[in-house]
Amino acid sequence: MATDDQLFGAVDALLEQVADLPEPVERRRLREAAGLSQTQVATALNTRRETVASWEATQPGRRREPRPPQRAAYARLLEKLSERFPAPAAADQATAPAPGPGSAAPVTEPPPVPVPQPHLQPRPPAAPAPVPAPAPEPPGAAAAPAAPAAAKSRRAPAAGPAPTGRRPAKKSAPAAADPRFANGPLAVVDADADGQVSAYCIGGLVLDVPAKSLPALVEWTLSEARLGQARLHRNGRDADPVLVLTRAALERYGLPAALSEEERRTGRLPDDHTVVRQIQRAGLQLTRRGLGPWARIYREPEGSRRRCVQLCILAWNALDAREWDKKDDPQLPTMHPADLARYLGLYAQRVMTPRGTTAVTGLELMVALRPPTRAEKDTASGEFKRAFNDDALTAVHDVVECEVPDEHPVLKGKFARHHLRTPAEMLMEEPYDWCRPLTDQECMNPFLVAVDINMSFAAAANGLTVGLNGPTHLTDGPAFDAALPGSWLVDLSHVDLSRVELGGRTVDGDRLPSPFTPKGDRPTGPAWYATPTVAYAVELGFGVTPIEAYVRTVSGRYLDGWYKRLRDAYVATMADLGVSTDLGGSAFLDAMARAGTADPTMALLATAIKATAKGGIGKLRQRSRGQVPYYEPYPALERETWRPDIRAAVLAGQRVGLHRKLMKTAAAADLYPVAVGTDAIVYPSPGPSPLDVLPHTEEGKPVPGGFRLGVSPGMVKHQGTRSVLWAEEQFEAAGGVFNIANLIKSDPSAGAGE
């Protein structure tokens, strides 16, 4: 027979199983206050994350109560959390002074009643995710859409305090909500083992997806999901919603987990694939690209309203690891859908909705910020018609032989096969690739310290005047005009920089690269140069006499808004990593050292933003990728934004701007680089830190016009440190001097240049 103690113990166990639990809203508040994710709670209670989410759900149709044996343990967890994190009202009541005589009792407003949305029930987030302040928009740009109040109340706040050394980002006024895109620019679509499909949105919002097929998923997105992004310019167009499909979603909708060799070659599924036929039967259409890694599925527009959905299929290499990921340690294949939604969603909010590669997106951002056309009302008929904007690229113009790459159709029959064009035949404005042997005195230093310029190509585009119309050919020795962007055939071989007076000090130009050639060699005769390069020769005090030129008479600062958008995106992301613009010197170096491990998702975002800036400039002179035979037209040539002269001007500005800083540094401290690779500069140093080598004034400030440590574009950060002995070993193994600039890296997976 059971004893009294055994009976009372059994009763106590029953009472624990039926213990009262707080309301779902309070359950979630306690978990978030402790900085715990639903996954952590599920692991501790030996259940699934989705089960914990249902315990916190506020919708009657989705709410479930814990069952034994998890109920007792869950009740104990909540009880202990409530002791540590009391409700705000209770805490205020405990600390507030008693009201005095005649004082009015505080009035508590009732909570807002959420408006029900049929067929669209947001689910609690999978894991706490911070909601960043929106990045500042360039002038004239539309604000990024924000979620409505009801959706915001279901988004998880940042978990726990910020890491040590992390500075909070400045708060900005919230952007006006666009109800059409209340749930953000994109969603990551995933499926669980039970076949339930979920759409993970930015801010931790999770939507139930009722669609059973890919056409139904597209229809749901167009009619109910409220995904997309408002236009960045009033004359532009809204961005189409993007659905990122995981491997589980591919299986759920009948798509292969990987493309076959033939499908990879063509970049699409065959037209007789089951899902492609489903799309056709549903009355939907695919673009000429077909159903590939980046696919567009659409219906005919309703008036001016587009009805298009873009698919991003991860397993088909839609997000190339060289741009969107760590190429030596890929993170995206194992990233949780909520983290992936945060990554791509923040990219969309701060840059724009991704359109493919980072290079493609960088080019599309130029067009989105400077649309070529606008609607203009005809005063006679009263109807609207298309008009062109003066500050944009609006037409495909004639090309200039010296500005185009070797495979361009305009060069057909001009040169012998495999002919290497000379600087007098081709505009060779490229970044630096220069290195020299160390002097005996420099070898006395134990270290080589490399610094690199943040987003150097984007910084060079800032304030740059570029041509907006077609070329005008100037002959018979035209006078140089720095206000005319274009290409100039001029002989700069007379420019002698071996001894230059700067700031009352003689600079040894022989230990610096020439600013006029990518290899740093002194010019030997006439060559084609972009306007910034010739203007720099004039700035140095040398006369120039052009032979001929191709200039653009209509010009503007086309890339200013593009630069500001990318600058703000990069600075905001680095602030999330704990590196703010007010940091300098050792504080900046310490913050950068911590940034690599502070938040892996934000680190990927910073890399993608830098790749967008670099790739966007490269796309201005996109080369043939083997789509057509040599000298045959290829698709990129049909774009208004195929402008090799603009790319040349940006690269020329980057190179001469770098040389200008090299000169200032040499004049201030008799300090000369031993290698320059794209935007990386290597100096011999007595210590391993940039603080040991970069010169400062007597007040401890960086030398004016020289290199300055900081996070903003155009400033520099530490790239890496090696020993002088290591460099000599590299030279000996190679049988001569080669460029070591891009080999000196703290992070070997980083690419060359930004």
Tokens encoding 493: 């071989």
Name the CA dihedral angle for 41, 45, 46, 47, rounded to a multiple of 10 degrees: -60
The answer to whether the beta carbons of residues 267 and 627 sit under 8 Å apart is no
The answer to whether the beta carbons of residues 573 and 598 sit under 8 Å apart is no
199 membership: H or E segment, kind and range? strand 197-200
Report the C-alpha gap between 22 and 19 in whole angstroms: 10
pLDDT digits (tens, 9 = 90+) for 451-506: 999 999 999 999 999 999 999 999 999 999 999 999 999 999 999 998 888 878 88
- For residue 151, the model assigns a pLDDT of 31
Report the C-alpha gap between 715 and 725 in whole angstroms: 29
More confident residue, 457 or 65: 457
pLDDT confidence tier of residue 566, bands split at 50, 70 and 90 = very high
Where are the alpha helices (H) located in 117-163, listed in sequence order?
Answer: 149-152
- For residue 439, the model assigns a pLDDT of 92
The answer to whether the beta carbons of residues 429 and 530 sit under 8 Å apart is yes
pLDDT digits (tens, 9 = 90+) for 340-392: 999 999 999 999 999 999 999 999 999 999 999 998 888 888 888 889 999 99
Cβ contacts of 692 within 8 Å, gap of 6 or more: 447, 449, 685, 686
pLDDT digits (tens, 9 = 90+) for 679-706: 999 999 999 999 999 998 888 888 899 9
- For residue 5, the model assigns a pLDDT of 58
Q: Residue 346: which of 156, 569, 600 has the closest Cα? A: 569
Determine the length of the chain: 754
pLDDT at residue 328 tops 80: yes
Burial class (CB in 10 A: 0-12, 13-18, 19+), 737: middle
- For residue 123, the model assigns a pLDDT of 45
CB atoms < 10 A from the CB of 418, how many?
6
Report the C-alpha gap between 511 and 354 in whole angstroms: 44
Give me the residues paired with residue 685 across strands.
447
> Structural domains in the chain?
18-89 (1.10.260), 122-159+175-353 (no CATH)
Among 50-64, 455-469, 578-592, 624-638, the range scoring the smallest mean pLDDT is 50-64
In percent, how much of the chain has pLDDT > 70? 84
In percent, how much of the chain has pLDDT > 90? 63
pLDDT confidence tier of residue 2, bands split at 50, 70 and 90 = low
Strand 373-377 to 384-388 pairing: antiparallel
- For residue 754, the model assigns a pLDDT of 58
- For residue 753, the model assigns a pLDDT of 55
Report the C-alpha gap between 188 and 201 in whole angstroms: 7
Q: Residue 364: which of 555, 185, 636, 619 has the closest Cα? A: 619
pLDDT digits (tens, 9 = 90+) for 157-199: 333 333 333 333 333 334 456 888 999 999 999 998 888 999 9
pLDDT confidence tier of residue 319, bands split at 50, 70 and 90 = very high
What's the mean pLDDT when you consider all of the chain? 84
pLDDT digits (tens, 9 = 90+) for 613-633: 999 999 999 999 887 888 999
Name the CA dihedral angle for 30, 31, 32, 38, rounded to a multiple of 10 degrees: -160
More confident residue, 201 or 73: 201
